Structure 1
Amino acid sequence: MPADAGDRSAGLKGATPAGVKSIAPPTVPGPEQALPPAERYFNREMSWLAFNHRVLEEARNETYPLLERLRFLSISGSNLDEFMMVRVAGLAGQVRRGIDENSIDGLTPSQQLQRIYAGIEQLVHRQHEVLTGLTRLLDDAGIRLIGNRKLEKNEADWLGDYFDEHVMPALTPQAIDPAHPFPFIANQGTGILFSMVRASDGAQVHEMILIPPALPRFVRLPGEAACWIAIEDLVRRKASRIFPGFRIHGSGVFRLLRDSDIEIEEDAEDLVRYFRTAIQRRRRGRVILLQLQDDFDPAAEDLLRTHLRLDHALVIKSRGQLAMSGLATVVDEKRPELKFEPYNPRYPERILEHNGDCFAAIREKDIVIHHPFESFDVVIDFLRQAASDPDVIAIKQTLYRAGKQSAVIAALIAAAEAGKSVTAVVELKARFDEEQNLMWASQLERAGVQVIYGFVDWKTHAKVSMVVRREGEGYRTYCHFGTGNYHPVTARIYTDLSFFTADPRFGRDAGLLFNFITGYIEPKATEVLSISPVGVRAKLYECIEREIAFAKAGKPAQIWAKLNSLTDSQLINRLYAASAAGVEISLVVRGICCLRPGVEGISERITVKSIIGRFLEHSRIWAFGNGGELPNRRARVFISSADGMTRNLDRRVEVLVPIRNKTVHDQVLDQVMLANLIDTEQSWKLDADGTYQRTDHGPKPFNVHRYFMTNPSLSGRGAALTKGRKVPKLALRRGGATRA
């Protein structure tokens, strides 16, 4: 990092810019206020656990290929790790500090921890049940997870040689006694404690071996038949080679997770230096979870409990595999018949009709790209063309998560090296991507890119590209607004929307957005965009109030929304008020939902569903009937980078983007939003008691992901829209769904 890198964040001292305040209109009192919080809202953390149960249930989905089912089990494990390291660790910290801030449903941190810990133990138990079932099916398919099973002689011999050559040199056994301090165990560290007797003098000895993170999580034995063994099982099997002259009486595998959140201090004078040290501190956070195999040696367990600070930490004993996330290694087994058939995304015909000229295609008409069904290459090509085009004079780009091998970063560097003015807003507070983003920032700065780190208190979560191009006598601004990250890997598995426009109004507003981030110049008024934390909440409230007014006037009143999470009590209360006033509300909320649907007098006109499937539903969409039944041409439609969470509305820089072009409007509303609402094969319905039930497939099952994989989109098709294969029209039928 150049010496002056810290100077850019020095002006951030003192939190938010003077005069910039979140707009949060007062909550409208409604009938829901008569109910206690526990009856008005679901607990956020318990709702998250319910979401991860839905993810885990996909590992039991018999319609999926076997290794894809194992992948969902692995995902449920990595999800749980992050939940423990951030959300649960945060609650434990509140308990330690005596903070009694109640949750949305009225629970204290201590009460929440009790319920969460019980829920996590249930989830872990369920994970092992699922793994047991999958292990049998994998055996039948010729993929063996060895575990504690007996090995053939040739297998044992090969593993012995592999251990001696590749594993043992990396291991460091450490005695646990007064002469040897208890070793530090890193976050997500796995180790083995051995209880032994030294043959020479009969002395009892405890030894610990920590598994180096550089070793493979699983080792595959050679041969056509796939045999996998976890690295910790291999070490236990070969322990006698590590400890000659000792009799091993007992051993146990353990794993721990630590508090991994990074709290930003208001007086952080150098944000870059602060994050570099904070990342190091995170690796040494308090223990929040200790997992032990159920055959763990009692004496060794007592030793662990004595040396680890386990106040408010969860200790779980379980059989077999401890880190379900590690099963992702086995999923990589080259058995294509046991995985989803590869999917190749489409490339928009309209850009091809312009010989790959993104600017010409966007100039002709706004385009929306539906990832992953349509290629993320469009976004990369847009930036690459901007980098190489001699008429492009400036590029401005937000970067929240860009991945490890980012073509976006390469394009920005190429543009800067070509002499263009390039500004990159790199968000250092993107959780678990902080280190990666610091590296990208350093590379960008060396290439001459002006790197901005945004606000101390607020994350810049908006996904925006802005390209200024010299055309004729003036300049034209081309913009990209996304609901997802500029991350080429997640773009293949997350469903997101990329909206491209050359409308001057969007260009002017995008300029105001970047000036807000880079210079704290608050956008007092915008033409089309709503920007949080100063405008998204207010715009959503305005749209909800309009629907309430339509309902009171006896006109059709409807709201559709698609979100990842809905937790903000004020926004939920607005939706409750709309329901009570007669507005019909249909929500697709993939993950956490604190809104309680179907409560008489409060939310009986609100339905909530969650879609879990091959692709992770990630796009955020709002649609308001505007005096008519949805879908209709007059509907007000928006895409956004923001979820329905307080942090998105009040503590992040986000954008809410109106969709006005007819074809794009039709695709987002009549195709994307409607397909999500009528899906029956991958949907779960949320009931008023907080339980989720799989949707009945019905006589004509509909799978939203299969539909988009096999049917073209409406936008970006150019002449193909009129000459090529027609897009099957979707229709909504009250009391059920149909497809015309």
Structure 2
Amino acid sequence: MGSQPLTQDNEPDAPQAPGERYFNRELSWLAFNDRVLAEACNDSYPLLERLRFLSISGSNLDEFLMIRVAGLVGQVQRGIDTPSDDGRSPKEQLAAIVERLEDITSRQQSTWRELRRELAEAGIHVAAEERINAEAYQWLKQHFYDEIMPLLTPQALDPAHPFPFVTNEGFGLLFTVRRGEEELVEMVLIPPALPRFLRVPGEEALYISIESLVTRFAQHMFPGFEIIGDGTFRVLRDSDIEIEEEAEDLVRTFRTAIQRRRRGQVIQLEIEEDFDPTAEALLREKLDTPGATIVKTDGMLGMEGLADIVDEDRPDLKFDSYSPRYPERVMEHDGDIFAAIREKDIVIHHPYESFDVVVDFVRRAAADPDVVAIKQTLYRAGSQSAVVDALVTAAENGKSVTAVVELKARFDEEQNLFWANKLERAGVQVIYGFVDWKTHAKVSMVVRREETGFRTYCHFGTGNYHPTTAKVYTDLSYFTADPRFGRDAGKLFNFVTGYVEPRETEMLGISPINLRETLYAAINNEVVNAHSGKPAAIWMKMNQITDTGIIDRLYEASRAGVEIQLVVRGICNLRPGVPGMSDNIRVKSIIGRFLEHSRIYAFANGEPLPGPNSTVYVSSADLMGRNLDRRVEHLVPIANQTVHDQVLQQVLLANLLDTEQSWELQPDGSYGRVDPGEKPFNCHRYFMTNPSLSGRGGALETGAVPHLALRKGAI
């Protein structure tokens, strides 16, 4: 590209072909899962944590197949040839994906073989035949008789018996059996309630997979027959839910759609390498639907099942335990979260600071006689939600409670329907929002009667109100009693509950109304400053960036001389470091102990970044078209100086400085590990050992937080 003709700005022409300007979204996601899989081979991690990463890579890949690949298959079948942003047709994308999948699944299997060997050396044996002595054999046999066999239903596959339905992610075994001259193929489906791996009781850890156990004792299911062949298979189906805009009853529509998802088109059939030929031929005939891929492996099916083994009680093979801090600021007010917020805005950094403070915010509101109203969004609340329980208590205490429950939260639809029913029974006003837009904003709003009148307290989060993910996802919770935020939060809820679009907001950016335009204006301001000779820089942290409107403006900013540093955990369609287009853009991804999930957008604003006058936002939105145009999201400006310094000069800066867990994106789309250098820096370790600024309160006077400084060429 260096030989291209120069523009009047003495720069090479920017590439114009889509494939030269943008990476493919699906291939970028596979590159992300490559990085997750690479952590399973990271010798610096404890052994069971490496196994966890392998399990996560399997779970990620399953979802990718059930949603993204299924969508492309559907487009091909319907004759849709609309190209992706990088110019590939659905058929071309599928071909590239299949090629990459072969490599990923092969590396998953080789990684599993290595980890199984190392686990055995550490005293954890998985399906190790030589370890099954007479005592272990007797326990397995009895367990099969008592706990497994009653749940199994062998079904002959012949003209008299229709081929049974295999659910999504369903495991099954086929047995070819013979009695005299009679030969049958029998199917045994594994109930999803059964654990994938069983641990034989005893001091030594010995695990056997459920399919191995059933195969071992299958003879007892077919008395009088000789088993002459067997094989294990697994099915993945199209799991996306499509809701028509004219749906009259959203709840009923979703209940029907969830049932339909379980019967979606087969996308992938996985079978063992040594599958019995007769049974395999029958399986292919019944499940090899158009568009489905068939994968034969000599290793393990369903890598996500390894999570059962990760639970083994071996703290020596896991990360050191970590207990999140409860903010001293709140404890200084005897646990009165409202008093702490009244004194000054506060930001909580999860999982380093406890999610309990968020739960306590709602619990205290539920019990406080001066609280008159609570409004809450619920996107993913988990299976055991203390926030939902607090909302129920609030309604039972006579408060006005409104809950916006998002039914379209993928794979959480059933759980959210359950919570919605529970809330409605308690008297909560439950709203499901828009049919065609997801309500993805994380907002809690409490109206309290005080001496000076009504005061509104707000919580804005970058993550969900989910107690489990809050322990492993890095997110920010921003609390404020600023009346401007209270008024804007009220407008946001009115928009969702009553479709009353706010004409203007004082503080918040809200998609799909003005969030995109707010970011456009901030980027453009940096371009103007660069042309004026002022300092110009942009730092951003997000999960994904795919929106071409944002990307093109970042390219324009780069060409103007704006220094841009992005921390993008997953999908990145932006191509960095391309002469004439993105020379000044650097992109890194952090993969480590915790899942990076917070969204932070920072702009120099005419002064060196980081600085006290930089413009800083936290947000629920990634830079994707769906977030900016087809979801209700929030963009929260940070004005309080202590919170501003924590978000910018502690959280975001530490992410830029990280070298131990970082990967840098190259112009060709490949990722390379960042050289840790002579002084390695791990941002997760830093946050675990250094308290937040706004959460410390008076404790900062006795223990300062180490100052971070950006090194030249940090990423």
TM-score by length of 1: 0.94
Separation (CA, whole Å) in 2 of partners of 1:150 and 1:728 = 51
Separation (CA, whole Å) in 2 of partners of 1:343 and 1:701 = 21
% identical aligned pairs: 67
Which amino acid letter does the alignment assign opposite residue 508 of structure 1? R
Shift of 1:733: 1.6
Separation (CA, whole Å) in 2 of partners of 1:175 and 1:456 = 44
Q: Give 3-state SS (helix, strand or coil) of 2:529's partner.
A: helix
Q: Deviations over 1:392-426 (max 9, x none)?
A: 00000000000111000011001000000000000
Shift of 1:309: 4.4
Match of 2:149? 168
Separation (CA, whole Å) in 2 of partners of 1:644 and 1:263 = 23
Q: Deviations over 1:140-186 (max 9, x none)?
A: 11100016667323222221111111111111111111011100000
Match of 2:630? 651
After TM superposition, the structure 1 = structure 2 runs for residues 650-729 of structure 1, keeping only pairs within 5 Å, are: 650-721=629-700, 723-729=701-707
Match of 1:45? 26
Q: Deviations over 1:545-579 (max 9, x none)?
A: 00000011111110000000001111111100110
Separation (CA, whole Å) in 1 of partners of 2:614 and 2:12 = 28
Which amino acid letter does the alignment assign opposite residue 707 of structure 2? K
Shift of 1:33: 6.5
Match of 2:460? 481
Shift of 1:473: 4.0
Residue 217 of structure 2, aligned match among 208, 221, 238: 238
Shift of 1:313: 1.0
Q: Give 3-state SS (helix, strand or coil) of 1:663's partner.
A: helix
Separation (CA, whole Å) in 2 of partners of 1:32 and 1:436 = 52
Q: Is the 8 A contact 2:547 2:623 kept in 1?
A: yes
Q: Is the 8 A contact 1:32 1:40 kept in 2?
A: no
Separation (CA, whole Å) in 2 of partners of 1:594 and 1:147 = 44
Separation (CA, whole Å) in 2 of partners of 1:253 and 1:214 = 18
Say yes or no: does 1:123 pair with 2:101: no
After TM superposition, the structure 1 = structure 2 runs for residues 510-659 of structure 1, keeping only pairs within 5 Å, are: 510-659=489-638
Shift of 1:735: 2.7
Residue 55 of structure 1, aligned match among 36, 46, 57: 36
Say yes or no: does 1:734 pair with 2:712: yes
Which amino acid letter does the alignment assign opposite residue 669 of structure 1? L
Separation (CA, whole Å) in 1 of partners of 2:380 and 2:702 = 36
Q: Deviations over 1:100-147 (max 9, x none)?
A: 111111111111111111211211111111100000110011100016
Q: Is the 8 A contact 1:147 1:320 kept in 2?
A: no
Higher RCO (Cα < 8 Å, 6 or more apart): 1
After TM superposition, the structure 1 = structure 2 runs for residues 282-681 of structure 1, keeping only pairs within 5 Å, are: 282-681=261-660
Which amino acid letter does the alignment assign opposite residue 97 of structure 1? R
Shift of 1:250: 1.4
Shift of 1:725: 1.1
Shift of 1:217: 1.1
Which amino acid letter does the alignment assign opposite residue 19 of structure 2? A
Q: Deviations over 1:36-75 (max 9, x none)?
A: 1111111100111110110111111111111111111111
Which amino acid letter does the alignment assign opposite residue 181 of structure 2? G
Structure 1 residue ranges (4+ consecutive) displaced by more than 6 angstroms after TM superposition: 30-33
Q: Is the 8 A contact 2:376 2:402 kept in 1?
A: yes
Match of 2:5? none
Separation (CA, whole Å) in 2 of partners of 1:34 and 1:357 = 56
Structure 1: where are the runs of 5+ without partners? 1-29
Separation (CA, whole Å) in 2 of partners of 1:549 and 1:328 = 51
Q: Which moved more, 1:42-51 or 1:728-737?
A: 728-737
Separation (CA, whole Å) in 2 of partners of 1:150 and 1:228 = 10
Separation (CA, whole Å) in 1 of partners of 2:39 and 2:338 = 41
After TM superposition, the structure 1 = structure 2 runs for residues 80-99 of structure 1, keeping only pairs within 5 Å, are: 80-99=61-80
Q: Is the 8 A contact 1:147 1:230 kept in 2?
A: no
Separation (CA, whole Å) in 2 of partners of 1:494 and 1:716 = 18
Q: Is the 8 A contact 1:349 1:718 kept in 2?
A: yes
Give the CA RMSD over aligned residues: 1.2
Separation (CA, whole Å) in 2 of partners of 1:309 and 1:298 = 15
Match of 1:10? none
Which amino acid letter does the alignment assign opposite residue 185 of structure 1? V
Separation (CA, whole Å) in 2 of partners of 1:426 and 1:518 = 11
Residue 242 of structure 2, aligned match among 263, 266, 269: 263
Q: Give 3-state SS (helix, strand or coil) of 1:290's partner.
A: strand
Q: Is the 8 A contact 2:537 2:603 kept in 1?
A: yes
Shift of 1:32: 7.3
Shift of 1:243: 1.4
Match of 1:78? 59
Assess, with a 3 A threshold, how the Cα gap between structure 1 residues 441 and 219 changes in structure 2: closer, same or farther: same
Separation (CA, whole Å) in 1 of partners of 2:375 and 2:22 = 40
Separation (CA, whole Å) in 1 of partners of 2:40 and 2:287 = 34
Structure 2: where are the runs of 5+ without partners? 1-10
Separation (CA, whole Å) in 2 of partners of 1:327 and 1:598 = 39
Q: Is the 8 A contact 2:12 2:579 kept in 1?
A: no
Match of 1:21? none
Q: Give 3-state SS (helix, strand or coil) of 1:261's partner.
A: coil
Assess, with a 3 A threshold, how the Cα gap between structure 1 residues 396 and 32 changes in structure 2: closer, same or farther: farther
Q: Give 3-state SS (helix, strand or coil) of 1:137's partner.
A: helix
Shift of 1:31: 8.1
Q: Give 3-state SS (helix, strand or coil) of 1:465's partner.
A: strand
Assess, with a 3 A threshold, how the Cα gap between structure 1 residues 225 and 450 changes in structure 2: closer, same or farther: same
Q: Which moved more, 1:248-257 or 1:615-624?
A: 248-257
Q: Is the 8 A contact 2:378 2:465 kept in 1?
A: yes
Shift of 1:628: 1.5
Match of 2:4? none
Shift of 1:736: 4.1
Separation (CA, whole Å) in 2 of partners of 1:264 and 1:31 = 46
Q: Is the 8 A contact 1:147 1:233 kept in 2?
A: no
Q: Is the 8 A contact 2:446 2:457 kept in 1?
A: yes
Separation (CA, whole Å) in 2 of partners of 1:343 and 1:556 = 40
Match of 1:7? none
Residue 172 of structure 2, aligned match among 191, 207, 222: 191
Match of 2:233? 254
Assess, with a 3 A threshold, how the Cα gap between structure 1 residues 736 and 398 changes in structure 2: closer, same or farther: closer
Q: Is the 8 A contact 1:32 1:576 kept in 2?
A: no
Separation (CA, whole Å) in 2 of partners of 1:529 and 1:566 = 21
Match of 2:8? none
Separation (CA, whole Å) in 2 of partners of 1:292 and 1:308 = 12
Q: Is the 8 A contact 2:33 2:61 kept in 1?
A: yes
Q: Is the 8 A contact 2:620 2:635 kept in 1?
A: yes
Separation (CA, whole Å) in 1 of partners of 2:271 and 2:349 = 44
Separation (CA, whole Å) in 2 of partners of 1:634 and 1:39 = 36
Which amino acid letter does the alignment assign opposite residue 108 of structure 2? Q
Q: Deviations over 1:684-704 (max 9, x none)?
A: 000001000011010000000
Separation (CA, whole Å) in 1 of partners of 2:128 and 2:256 = 39
Separation (CA, whole Å) in 2 of partners of 1:449 and 1:474 = 25
Separation (CA, whole Å) in 2 of partners of 1:735 and 1:600 = 18
Q: Which moved more, 1:394-403 or 1:111-120?
A: 111-120
Q: Deviations over 1:650-690 (max 9, x none)?
A: 00000000000000000000000000000000000000010
After TM superposition, the structure 1 = structure 2 runs for residues 18-37 of structure 1, keeping only pairs within 5 Å, are: 34-37=15-18
Residue 123 of structure 2, aligned match among 124, 128, 142: 142
Q: Is the 8 A contact 1:480 1:501 kept in 2?
A: yes
